[in-house]
């Protein structure tokens, strides 16, 4: 009898093993949950049909509840507060008609009395209210954002907002969440850390950190990175890749250090065990930042939730992230091709990482590291950039015909500076000429800013107009009439070989010189003050230089900035020194796209300040271009007798005659730096001269011979 029982037990065990073996080799093919981008091959990591559930605490792994099998469908249905609108898409849960009249405008609910808001959520709301999308009128809004803090939905957190469900349902504009955007960094609580928010989001979009691919609603929700409360509100530090070193390896390549510490929370000593002292001592032996900045690849495993702070730390450090968090919908996956900046691993195949990393070529490693820096600077270095990227993604969905291409999002200068409303053709932007293998149009449009009445035929503006018109590269001349006097009669302007168009300035304000006038048809704009003195040769040489640097400002009058340590503020100087950081737009060439960016990207507050002071518009344009390019302008050689103002300090029309002019420019520098979140201007010591300039050869052999003449 006992032998029979043993036989039955062995037979059952054998049948179980056979069934298990059959199931393992007959797994269904993996379903690809992400869209292919540009036909690139997948990473050589195996794909599984189901993402792993969040890791469970070690002390609950043997409980009865943990071992009960729960299907993915049951798990999803359990999170009722998140998934009541799980089938929502832009065409079913978003009212596009709200965006048709006033464009893409965002309304933030007024803060309710007695409601506490975390510092991180205050930064998010401040970024929205400081953006060009913000409106204080809910009747003009296309998108609505709550003033109730939804970032931390961990019930054990002191930042947790109670009774949020009732508070949201009582909002007069809630409308079941339609056209609403909800931000969240932490969901669920110990021990499971599910994606439970504690309230029904209805038809609202979710901008969420650590969101899983199973719960993510494609082209509706947005995955954002997990960031700490210390993450900068604006600006942020640049990435740490200073030089494109080849080979691109650092001090550490395949060293894996596994450490832990008990120092979590303020009362960690009350709960420490016998291993804590030893673990803490081992942890303190290593300098985390030193290892991070000297590593080529960085493991980014999941934390309590799918995302962790290691992700942004690795990006900033130019350490290629090796993603080990199965099922995590990576931040901004809708627009970012993460295969160009990270290694997408599988946490179940940890031992394959060294082999996979070794197989990556040096050129590819350098490319990956460079891309981490582009993505960090463009989308992740501050709360403002994370928020603006979120809003731009939604705007692209709403304005489908004017949405950005993948190249715009994944190449310099990034999607935030490449506005698709300007053009749908990449060749119309100054950043993509090299990528497309094209050159800018070989002509320029001169825009002369006129503020003085035309009373004499010997005025500098008329001499300037004739000199510019003689340039072989001049397509047309636009005179922007910002003078209080009426427009001069047509016969008062000299006859030229190119068209001369006189336009009356809009409201006679300084910012009108940078409006995107439809009459500007060329890529290049030669911006001139009415009192500038330039010869035809100087104009030709400056334009020739610009054709090689179409994304930068190229010109003559240079200025510089410096940090005044005594006053703890930025200073502005016009002294002739060995470096510069600005080229004033009184005599400069730049791409016409910057007119569009100046008008539509910069906030009204900065442009209003410029118009009220009638000053600083040239500084603001330099700030903008340097913020976009991360490069300095280019100064070119000029004649010795060049003067920036022929009208003299005694002329009433000259802005330089105003004693407050210089002080105002100091104020502008600091105001602009505050809005950009950092100082974008870059110093340079480079000046470009013509070949053979000052060389001891015959003047007849020199192409730009007039530049040398006194």
Q: 607 and 585, same structural domain?
A: yes
Report if residue 179 sits inside a domain.
Answer: yes
Is residue 156 within 8 Å of 119, Cβ to Cβ? no
Q: Which two tokens stand for residue 57?
A: 């605490």
Q: How many CB atoms lie within 10 A of CB 65?
A: 9
Q: 598 and 542, same structural domain?
A: yes
The answer, yes or no, to whether residue 224 has pLDDT greater than 60, is yes
Digit-coded pLDDT (tens) for 143-182 = 999 999 999 998 888 889 998 999 999 999 999 999 999 9
> What was the pLDDT predicted at 565?
93
**Can you give the CATH number for the domain in which 520 is found?**
3.90.550.10
Distance from CA of residue 484 to its chain's centroid? 40
The answer, yes or no, to whether residue 697 has pLDDT greater than 60, is yes
> What was the pLDDT predicted at 4?
46
Residue scoring higher pLDDT (621 or 363): 621
Predicted TM-score of the model (pTM): 0.82
How does residue 52 score in pLDDT terms, banded at 50, 70 and 90?
Answer: very low
- Report d(CA 98, CA 696) in Å as an integer: 70
Among 80-89, 291-300, 597-606, 691-700, the range of highest mean pLDDT: 597-606
Q: How many CB atoms lie within 10 A of CB 482?
A: 21
| 666 phi and psi angles, rounded to 5 deg | -65, -45
How does residue 32 score in pLDDT terms, banded at 50, 70 and 90?
Answer: very low
- Report d(CA 34, CA 333) in Å as an integer: 9
> What was the pLDDT predicted at 87?
86
Per DSSP (E only), the strands in 368-432 are: none
Q: What region does 210 belong to: left with phi over 0, alpha with psi -120 to 50, or beta?
A: left
> What was the pLDDT predicted at 609?
95
What is the average pLDDT score of the chain? 84
Is residue 297 within 8 Å of 357, Cβ to Cβ? yes
Q: Which two tokens stand for residue 620?
A: 């603001």
Report if residue 586 sits inside a domain.
Answer: yes
Q: 99 and 204, same structural domain?
A: yes
Please compute the mean of the pLDDT values over residues 180-204 and round it to a whole number: 90
Report if residue 33 sits inside a domain.
Answer: no
> What was the pLDDT predicted at 285?
85
Three-class SS of 451-498: CCCCCCCCCHHHHHHHHHHCCCCEEEEEEEECCCCCCCCHHHCCCCCC
> What was the pLDDT predicted at 194?
85
Percent of residues, the chain, with pLDDT higher than 70: 83
Task: Assign 153 to helix, strand or coil.
Answer: coil
Which of 282-286, 332-336, 398-402, 666-670 has the least mean pLDDT? 398-402
The answer, yes or no, to whether residue 645 has pLDDT greater than 70, is no
> What was the pLDDT predicted at 226?
95
The answer, yes or no, to whether residue 524 has pLDDT greater than 60, is yes
Q: 244 and 220, same structural domain?
A: no
Number of domains in the chain: 3
Distance from CA of residue 505 to its chain's centroid? 32
> What was the pLDDT predicted at 74?
47
Give, as one character, the DSSP assignment of residue 106: E
Q: 288 and 203, same structural domain?
A: no
> What was the pLDDT predicted at 38?
38
Q: 597 and 498, same structural domain?
A: yes
> What was the pLDDT predicted at 261?
80
Digit-coded pLDDT (tens) for 288-333 = 888 888 888 999 998 889 999 999 999 999 999 999 999 999 999 9
Long-range CB pairs of 335-339 (<8 Å, 24+ gap) are 335/389, 335/393, 335/404, 335/406, 335/409, 335/410, 335/415, 336/375, 336/379, 336/409, 336/410, 337/37, 337/38, 337/40, 337/406, 337/410, 339/37, 339/40, 339/43
Which of 65-79, 241-255, 317-331, 432-446 has the least mean pLDDT? 65-79
Q: 293 and 187, same structural domain?
A: no
How does residue 259 score in pLDDT terms, banded at 50, 70 and 90?
Answer: confident
The answer, yes or no, to whether residue 68 has pLDDT greater than 60, is no
Please compute the mean of the pLDDT values over residues 355-361 and round it to a whole number: 89
Give, as one character, the DSSP assignment of residue 229: T
> What was the pLDDT predicted at 5?
45
The answer, yes or no, to whether residue 542 has pLDDT greater than 50, is yes
> What was the pLDDT predicted at 189?
85
To the nearest 10 degrees (0 to 180), the angle between helices 383-398 and 119-129 is 50
Question: In the annotation, is 618 catalytic?
Answer: yes
What length does the chain have?
710
**Can you give the CATH number for the domain in which 323 is found?**
3.40.50.2000
Report if residue 410 sits inside a domain.
Answer: no
> What was the pLDDT predicted at 455?
85
How does residue 127 score in pLDDT terms, banded at 50, 70 and 90?
Answer: very high
> What was the pLDDT predicted at 499?
95
Catalytic choice (475, 618, 660, 706): 618
Task: Assign 324 to helix, strand or coil.
Answer: strand
Which of 509-513, 574-578, 618-622, 691-695 has the least mean pLDDT? 691-695
Report if residue 1 sits inside a domain.
Answer: no
Peptide bond into 79 cis (omega under 30): no
Domain final residue, candidates 341, 362, 377: 377
Q: 243 and 191, same structural domain?
A: no
Classify burial at 75, counting beta carbons within 10 Å of its beta carbon; exposed 0-12, middle 13-18, buried 19 or more. Answer: middle
Q: 597 and 469, same structural domain?
A: yes
Three-class SS of 570-619: EEEECCCCCCECEECCCEEEEECHHHHHHHHCCCHHHHHHHHHHCCCHHH
Digit-coded pLDDT (tens) for 478-506 = 999 999 888 888 888 999 999 999 999 87
Residue scoring higher pLDDT (490 or 10): 490
- Report d(CA 586, CA 646) in Å as an integer: 13
Percent of residues, the chain, with pLDDT higher than 90: 59
> What was the pLDDT predicted at 249?
64
Report if residue 418 sits inside a domain.
Answer: no
The answer, yes or no, to whether residue 268 has pLDDT greater than 70, is yes
Q: 299 and 216, same structural domain?
A: no
Q: 220 and 300, same structural domain?
A: no
The answer, yes or no, to whether residue 215 has pLDDT greater than 60, is yes
> What was the pLDDT predicted at 674?
93
For 636, the enclosing helix (H) or strand (E) is strand 634-636
Please compute the mean of the pLDDT values over residues 341-366 and round it to a whole number: 90
Give residue 159's domain range. Answer: 77-224
Query: What number of H helices and E strands is found in the chain?
Result: 22, 19
Report if residue 57 sits inside a domain.
Answer: no
Report if residue 93 sits inside a domain.
Answer: yes
The answer, yes or no, to whether residue 662 has pLDDT greater than 50, is yes
Is residue 71 within 8 Å of 50, Cβ to Cβ? no
Q: 539 and 652, same structural domain?
A: yes
Q: Which of 528, 542, 515, 521 is nearest to 463 (CA)?
A: 528
For 90, the enclosing helix (H) or strand (E) is helix 90-93
């Amino acid at each position: 009898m006992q032998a029979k029982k043993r036989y039955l037990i062995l037979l059952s065990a054998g049948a179980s093993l056979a069934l298990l073996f059959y199931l393992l080799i007959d797994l269904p093919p993996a379903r690809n949950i992400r869209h292919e981008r540009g036909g690139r091959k997948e990473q050589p990591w195996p794909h599984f049909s189901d993402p792993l559930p969040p890791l469970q605490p070690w002390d609950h792994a043997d409980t009865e509840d943990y071992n009960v099998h729960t299907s993915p469908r049951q798990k999803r249905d359990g999170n009722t507060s998140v998934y009541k609108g799980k089938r929502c898409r832009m065409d079913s849960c978003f009212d596009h008609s709200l965006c048709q009249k006033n464009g893409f405008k965002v309304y933030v609910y007024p803060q309710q009395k007695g409601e506490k808001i975390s510092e991180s959520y205050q930064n998010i709301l401040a970024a929205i209210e400081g953006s060009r999308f913000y409106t204080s009128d809910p009747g003009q809004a296309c998108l609505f954002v709550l003033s109730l803090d939804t970032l931390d939905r961990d019930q054990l957190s002191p930042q947790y907002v109670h009774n949020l469900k009732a508070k949201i349902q009582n909002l007069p504009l809630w409308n079941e969440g339609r056209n609403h955007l909800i931000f969240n960094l932490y969901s669920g609580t110990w021990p499971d850390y599910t994606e439970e928010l504690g309230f029904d989001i209805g038809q609202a979009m979710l901008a969420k950190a650590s969101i899983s691919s199973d719960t993510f609603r494609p082209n509706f929700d947005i995955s954002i990175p997990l960031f700490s409360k210390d993450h900068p509100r604006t600006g942020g530090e640049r990435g740490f890749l200073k030089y494109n070193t080849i080979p691109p390896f650092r001090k550490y390549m395949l060293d894996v250090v596994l450490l832990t510490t008990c120092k979590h929370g303020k009362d960690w000593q009350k709960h420490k065990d016998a291993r804590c002292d030893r673990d803490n001592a081992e942890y303190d032996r290593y300098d985390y930042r030193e290892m991070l900045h000297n590593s080529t690849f960085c493991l980014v495993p999941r934390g309590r939730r799918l995302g962790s702070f290691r992700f942004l730390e690795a990006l900033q450090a130019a350490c290629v992230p090796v993603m080990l968090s199965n099922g995590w919908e990576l931040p901004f996956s809708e627009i970012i091709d993460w295969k160009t900046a990270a290694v997408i691993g599988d946490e179940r195949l940890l031992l394959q990482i060294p082999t996979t990393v070794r197989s990556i070529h040096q050129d590819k490693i350098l490319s990956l590291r460079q891309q981490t820096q582009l993505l960090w600077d463009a989308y992740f270095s501050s709360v403002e950039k994370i928020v603006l990227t979120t809003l731009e993604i939604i705007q692209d969905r709403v304005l489908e015909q004017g949405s950005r291409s993948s190249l715009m999002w994944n190449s310099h200068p990034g999607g935030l500076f490449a506005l698709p409303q300007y053009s749908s053709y990449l060749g119309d932007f100054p950043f993509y000429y090299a990528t497309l293998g094209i050159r800018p149009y070989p002509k320029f449009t001169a825009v002369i800013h006129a503020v003085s009445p035309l009373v004499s035929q010997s005025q500098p503006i008329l001499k300037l107009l004739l000199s510019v018109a003689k340039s072989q590269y001049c397509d047309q001349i636009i005179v922007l009439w910002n003078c209080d006097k009426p427009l001069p009669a047509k016969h008062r302007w000299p006859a030229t070989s190119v068209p001369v168009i006189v336009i009356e300035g809009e409201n006679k304000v300084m910012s009108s010189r940078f409006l995107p006038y439809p009459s500007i048809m060329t890529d290049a704009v030669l911006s001139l003050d009415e009192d500038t003195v330039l010869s035809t040769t100087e104009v030709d040489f400056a334009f020739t230089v610009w054709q090689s640097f179409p994304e930068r400002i190229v010109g003559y009058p240079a200025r510089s900035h410096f940090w005044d340590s005594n006053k703890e503020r930025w200073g502005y100087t016009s002294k002739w020194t060995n470096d510069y950081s600005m080229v004033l737009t009184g005599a400069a060439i730049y791409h016409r796209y910057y007119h569009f960016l100046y008008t539509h990207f910069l906030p009204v507050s900065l442009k209003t300040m410029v118009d009220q002071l009638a000053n600083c518009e040239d500084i603001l344009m330099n700030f903008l271009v340097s913020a976009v390019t991360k490069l300095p302008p280019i100064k070119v050689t000029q004649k010795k007798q060049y003067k920036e103002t022929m009208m003299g300090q005694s002329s009433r029309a000259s802005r330089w005659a105003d004693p407050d002019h210089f002080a105002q420019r100091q104020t502008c520098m600091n105001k602009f730096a505050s809005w950009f979140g950092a100082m974008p201007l870059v110093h340079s010591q480079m000046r470009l001269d013509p070949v053979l300039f000052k060389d001891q050869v015959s003047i007849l052999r020199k192409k730009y011979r007039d530049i040398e003449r006194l």
